């Protein structure tokens, strides 16, 4: 992950993959974002992405997190699931 400082502005954020979506936040201009990705309060990694003007920030961050940290997200979900009673699905 490389964020080019010439691609200002650079926004720092966090995305909680298990939390409800935030309200849409359309970016007024292209923005580079550096974000901490968490699930169930546990940090899974940091992503860097460039979102074009008009992008929805929460959707763009979740998409980038799935692309860049897909294996970490899957492993966390697998570990979380194996700790539950497998006879019943996880509650929402």
In a domain, 90, yes or no: no
Looking at the chain, the number of H-run helices and the number of E-run strands are 1, 3
Provide the domain limits for residue 34: 10-82
In a domain, 43, yes or no: yes
Rounded to two decimals, the pTM is: 0.75
In a domain, 89, yes or no: no
Q: What is the rounded distance in angstroms from the CA atom of residue 58 to the CA atom of residue 80?
A: 24
Instruction: Say how many domains are in the chain.
Output: 1
Q: Give pLDDT, residue 92.
A: 47
Mean pLDDT by 10 residues, the chain (92 residues): 70 88 80 90 92 90 94 87 57 50
8-state DSSP, 87? T
């Amino acid at each position: 992950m490389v964020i080019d400082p010439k691609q200002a502005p650079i926004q720092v954020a966090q995305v909680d993959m298990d939390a409800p979506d935030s309200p849409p936040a359309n970016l007024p201009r292209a923005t580079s974002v550096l974000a901490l990705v968490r699930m169930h309060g546990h940090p899974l990694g940091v992503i860097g992405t460039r979102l074009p003007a008009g992008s929805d920030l929460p959707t763009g961050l979740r998409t980038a997190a799935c692309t860049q940290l897909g294996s970490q997200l899957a492993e966390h979900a697998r570990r979380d699931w194996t700790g539950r009673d497998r006879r019943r699905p996880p509650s929402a």
